[in-house]
Amino acid sequence: MDADTNAIPMKLARLLKSSVEGCGRSQSEIARRAGLKRDRLRRSMSGEREATLSEVLAILQACGNPSDRMLVFLLLAGEEFALTYARSGLGDFLDEFLRLVPHEIAERLGADSEELRPRWARGTAKLLARTLHQHVAELSRRGDAIEEQFLTGSRI
C-alpha cells in the first residue's frame, strides 16, 4: 500500500488504541463487548491488521464512545480532536451541525451552489465561529442578568 492508502487504517488503529487504553476497561472486556477475539482486537489496535468498519464501530461502542461521531471527527479533524471532543457539548453540536449544514446550504443556494469556491471555506468557518461565540456570550450575559434579577428580586 502507498502512504495515502495506508493513512486512514493507521489513523483508525491509533484511534482504537487510544480509545481502548483510555476507557478504563480491559482489552478482554472490550473484545468481549465488541464480539471479537482478544488477539484480533490487539492486532487491530497495533495496525497489524486492518479492522473492518463494523469492527471499528463495535470497538468504539464497547469503549463507550459515540462511534459514528468519532469516525467523522477523525476524518475531518484528526485523532486528537476525535478523542477530545466526541463526548462533549461541542461534539453534540458539531454532530448535529454536520448532519444539517449540507442540506441547508444546498437548499438555500440551489443552482447558485456552483458559484461556491473552496478558498471561501476558511473565511466562512471563521465568520461562523465568531458569530457562534458572540451568540453564546450574549446568552451567557442574559443568563447572568436573569440570575442576578432572580437573586435580588430587582428588574432589569
Give residues with Cβ within 8 angstroms of 94, minimum separation 6: 73, 85
Same domain as 69, residue 19: yes
Report the C-alpha gap between 61 and 64 in whole angstroms: 5
Same domain as 64, residue 7: yes
105 found inside a domain: no
Q: How many CB atoms lie within 10 A of CB 30?
A: 25
Question: Over 60: is that where the pLDDT of 120 sits?
Answer: yes
Which set of grid coordinates corresponds to residue 51? 479492522
State the pLDDT confidence band at 1, using cuts at 50, 70 and 90. very low
Question: Over 80: is that where the pLDDT of 129 sits?
Answer: yes
Question: Over 90: is that where the pLDDT of 112 sits?
Answer: yes
Count of domains in the chain? 2
Same domain as 85, residue 130: no
Same domain as 128, residue 71: no
- Residue 83 domain boundaries: 3-90
